[in-house]
C-alpha cells in the first residue's frame, strides 16, 4: 500500500477560477500531514509527503506525478481557502486513474464532510477531527477488505448513499504521538530560512468560542495539553536537527500561565538556544510569565486585539477589552520581549465607518512592532456563518465551499473597497513612521520572522500602487 499525504495549496478561488499568481506559503511546515505520516510509518506503511502550498506546481502536473508514481491512497489536508484546489486535484486524479482512493481531512473536511460527499464523487472518504488514528484505521480496513462502516470518524458512500460513522473521539494523550520528522519536507521543498524555522504545537483546542473561528466547533472547546517534558524534548530534538527559530502555533498557548512558566524553566535548564514566537491572549498571563518567556528565548508575542470597540469585541465573543491590549503590551515590553504583533479585524456587520477608523487609529498608536488589519471573512461552520444563514445573507446550499468577505454579502457592512483603502493607508503610515523605523530596525534585521513580514507588506503596497 503506497500512500501520499498532500498539504493542498491555494491555486483556485472559491468560484473555481484559477489564480494568476498562486499563493505560495513558505513560512510554515505543515505539521498535520507529518503527524499523520509518523503514525502510518510506525505501522510499516510506505508514505511520501508533498507540500503543494509551497511547491510551484499546477494541479495537472501534480496529479500526473501522483499517477505516474503509482500511489494507492492520496490523503489531502484541506483548509477552507484550499478546498476548491483540493477538489480540482481529486477530480483530475480520478480522470487519470479511477482506482486511486482520495481521502479529504482537515478543517473543511470535518465541518462540511456531508456536503463534500454529496457533491463531489471524486472524493471517496472524509476523515473528521483528529485524523491520525482514524486514517490509519481506515487504511487497514481498505487493505484487508473489511467494511469501512466499522471505522469511527469517517464519512463515505455506500451504494451511492452518503453515510457517517460515529465520531472517533479526540486524542487525549498527545504525548504518545511521535515528533514530526520535518526533514521529509525540508529535503524536498524550500521554506523560510531554508528550513531553519519550524512550527510546533503544544496543545490542541481552545476553550473560547470566538464567533469568527472554527476551532471551538471542531474541538468542542476542549483543550488537550502535551506534558512540559514532552514539549521541551521536542525543542531539544529540533535544535539537534539544525533549526534556529520556532513558532508555537497553539490556538491558546498561554491558557495556563504556570504551565508556560514550567516550559520556560525547563528550556533554560536544558540550555536550549532557540528563538521562538508565540500567540497569546490579552486576558491570560502576567508579568512573571512574560519574563520567563523572554529569558527562555521568546522574541515575539502575537495578540489578536481584533477591535478598539467593546461592542464589536462582544459581538465576536472575544471576552477581552481594548484596555487589556494596552496592559498586555506594557507587560510584554517590561519583560523585554523585543517584538509584539497585533491583529485587528474590520468589517463586522454593524461596525460603523467611525468605529473602524477608531480601531485603525488605536492600532497605529500601540507600542508594537507588527500591525495587521484584515477584513472579516465568513467561514463555513462558524457562529457568524450560521447567523448569516438565519438573516438570509448566505445560502448554505451554495456558499459552503469557501470563506466570503462579510462586506460582499452583508448589506449593513462598510463596503470592501473602502475597507481596503483604509488598510492600505494604515499600512503606509505604519511603514513610514520614523519612530517605528528607528525603534524596530535592529530587531527586524535580526529576526527572519519579522523581516519576511515587512518584505511582504512592502510588496503588497507596491502591487497596489
C-alpha cell at 43: 505501522
Provide the pLDDT confidence category of residue 461 given band limits of 50, 70 and 90.
Answer: very low
pLDDT score, position 55: 87
Residue located via cell numbers 472524509: 126
pLDDT at residue 27 in the model: 58
User: What is residue 15's predicted lDDT score, i.e. its pLDDT?
Assistant: 82
Element (H, E) at 94: helix 83-96
| Closest by CA position to 386, among listed 395, 373, 374, 376 | 395
pLDDT, one tens digit per residue, over 231-265 is: 999 999 999 999 999 999 999 999 999 999 999 99
Question: At 371, which helix (H) or strand (E)?
Answer: strand 370-375
Mean predicted confidence (pLDDT) in 382-402: 96
Residue 434 C-beta-side C-alpha neighbours within 13 Å = 0
Q: Domain limits of the chain?
A: 2-164, 196-464
Residue 412 has pLDDT above 60, yes or no: yes
Question: Which has more confidence, 282 or 369?
Answer: 282
Q: Is the pLDDT of residue 457 over 50?
A: no
- Asked if residues 294 and 335 have their Cβ atoms less than 8 Å apart, the reply is yes
What is the structure's pLDDT at 182?
A: 94
Q: Is the pLDDT of residue 446 over 90?
A: no
pLDDT at 462: 40
Fold of 196-464: pyruvate-formate lyase- activating enzyme (3.80.30)
Residue 18: is its pLDDT beyond 80?
Answer: yes
CB 299 within 8 A of CB 336: no
| CA distances for 82 relative to 13, 139, 156, angstroms | 8, 24, 21
Query: In which residue are the cell numbers 482537515 written?
Result: 106
pTM of the entire predicted model: 0.92
pLDDT band at residue 460 under the 50/70/90 scheme: very low
Strand boundaries in 8-160, DSSP class E: 10-12, 18-23, 46-51, 73-77, 101-105, 125-127, 154-158
Compute the average pLDDT of residues 94-115.
Answer: 97
Nearest residue to 221 via CA among 252, 188, 243: 252
pLDDT of residue 12: 85
Q: What is the largest CA-CA distance in the chain?
A: 67
What's the distance, CA 351 to chain centroid? 26
What average pLDDT does this structure show over 418-439?
A: 85
> What b/e sequence results for 208-229 when a residue is b if at least 16 CB atoms lie within 10 Å of its CB, and e otherwise?
bbbbbbbbbbbbeeebebbebe
23 pLDDT band, cuts 50/70/90, is low
3-class state of residue 419 by DSSP: helix
* CB neighbour list of residue 88: distance below 8 Å, 6 or more residues apart: 11, 12, 16, 59
Q: How far is CA 124 from the centre of its chain?
A: 25
The percentage of the chain sitting over the pLDDT mark of 70, rounded to a whole number, equals 91
pLDDT at 135 over 80: yes
Q: What is the pLDDT of residues 143-200, one digit of tens each?
A: 999 999 999 999 999 999 999 999 998 999 999 999 999 999 988 887 765 558 899 9
Residue 175 DSSP code: G
Mean pLDDT of the chain: 92
Q: What kind and span of H or E run contains 258? A: helix 257-269
Q: Which fold has domain 2-164?
A: Rossmann fold (3.40.50)
Indicate if the pLDDT at residue 458 is higher than 50: no
Residue tagged 502576567 (cell numbers):
286
Distance CA(330)–CA(332), nearest Å, equals 6
**pLDDT score of 330 more than 70:** yes
> What local confidence, expressed as pLDDT, does residue 440 receive?
63
Specify which residues 275 forms β-bridges with: 245
The pLDDT, as a whole number, for residue 19 is 81
b vs e for 442-464, b when ≥16 Cβ sit within 10 Å of the residue's Cβ?
A: eebeebbbbebbbeebeeeeeee
Report the percent of the chain where pLDDT is more than 90. 82
Count CA atoms within 13 Å of residue 32 on its CB side. Answer: 23
Amino acid at each position: 500500500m503506497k500512500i501520499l499525504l498532500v498539504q493542498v495549496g491555494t491555486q483556485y478561488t472559491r468560484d473555481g477560477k484559477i489564480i494568476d499568481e498562486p499563493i505560495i506559503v513558505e513560512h510554515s511546515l505543515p505539521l498535520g500531514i507529518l503527524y499523520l505520516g509518523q503514525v502510518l510509518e510506525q505501522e510499516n506503511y510506505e508514505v511520501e509527503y508533498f507540500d503543494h502550498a509551497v511547491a510551484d506546481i499546477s494541479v495537472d502536473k501534480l496529479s500526473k506525478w501522483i499517477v505516474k508514481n503509482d500511489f494507492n491512497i492520496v490523503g489531502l489536508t484541506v483548509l477552507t481557502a484550499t478546498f476548491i484546489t483540493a477538489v480540482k486535484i481529486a477530480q483530475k486524479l480520478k480522470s487519470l486513474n479511477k482506482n486511486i482512493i482520495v481521502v479529504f481531512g482537515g478543517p473543511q473536511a470535518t465541518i462540511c464532510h456531508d456536503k463534500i460527499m454529496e457533491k463531489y464523487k471524486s472524493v471517496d472518504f472524509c476523515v473528521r477531527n483528529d485524523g491520525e488514528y482514524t486514517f490509519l484505521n481506515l487504511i487497514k480496513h481498505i487493505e484487508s477488505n473489511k467494511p469501512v462502516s466499522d471505522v469511527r470518524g469517517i464519512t463515505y458512500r455506500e451504494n451511492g448513499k452518503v453515510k457517517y460513522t460515529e465520531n472517533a473521539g479526540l486524542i487525549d494523550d498527545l504525548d504518545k504521538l511521535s515528533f514530526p520528522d520535518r526533514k521529509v519536507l525540508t529535503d524536498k521543498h524550500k521554506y523560510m530560512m531554508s528550513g531553519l524555522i519550524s512550527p510546533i504545537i503544544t496543545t490542541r483546542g481552545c476553550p473560547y468560542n470566538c464567533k469568527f473561528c472554527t476551532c471551538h466547533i471542531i474541538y468542542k472547546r476542549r483543550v488537550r495539553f502535551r506534558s512540559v517534558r514532552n514539549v521541551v524534548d521536542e525543542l531539544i530534538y529540533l535544535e539537534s536537527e539544525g533549526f534556529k527559530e520556532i513558532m508555537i502555533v497553539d490556538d491558546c498557548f498561554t491558557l495556563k500561565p504556570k504551565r508556560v512558566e514550567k516550559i520556560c524553566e525547563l528550556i533554560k535548564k536544558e540550555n536550549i538556544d532557540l528563538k521562538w514566537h508565540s500567540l497569546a491572549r490579552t486576558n491570560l498571563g502576567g508579568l512573571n510569565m512574560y519574563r520567563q518567556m523572554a529569558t527562555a528565548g521568546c522574541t515575539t508575542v502575537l495578540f489578536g486585539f481584533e477591535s478598539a470597540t467593546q461592542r464589536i469585541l462582544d459581538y465576536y465573543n472575544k471576552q477581552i477589552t481594548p484596555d487589556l491590549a494596552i496592559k498586555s503590551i506594557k507587560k510584554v515590553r517590561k519583560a523585554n520581549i523585543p517584538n509584539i504583533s497585533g491583529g485587528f479585524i474590520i468589517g463586522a456587520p454593524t461596525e460603523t465607518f467611525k468605529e473602524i477608523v477608531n480601531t485603525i487609529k488605536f492600532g497605529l498608536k500601540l507600542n508594537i512592532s507588527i500591525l495587521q488589519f484584515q477584513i472579516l471573512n465568513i467561514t463555513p461552520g462558524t457562529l457568524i456563518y450560521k447567523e448569516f444563514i438565519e438573516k438570509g445573507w448566505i445560502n448554505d446550499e451554495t456558499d459552503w465551499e469557501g470563506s466570503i468577505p462579510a462586506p460582499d454579502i452583508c448589506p449593513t457592512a462598510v463596503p470592501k473597497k473602502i475597507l481596503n483603502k483604509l488598510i492600505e493607508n494604515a499600512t503606509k503610515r505604519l511603514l513610514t513612521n520614523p519612530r517605528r523605523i528607528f525603534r524596530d530596525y535592529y530587531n527586524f534585521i535580526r529576526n527572519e520572522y519579522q523581516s519576511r513580514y515587512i518584505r511582504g507588506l512592502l510588496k503588497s503596497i507596491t502591487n497596489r500602487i
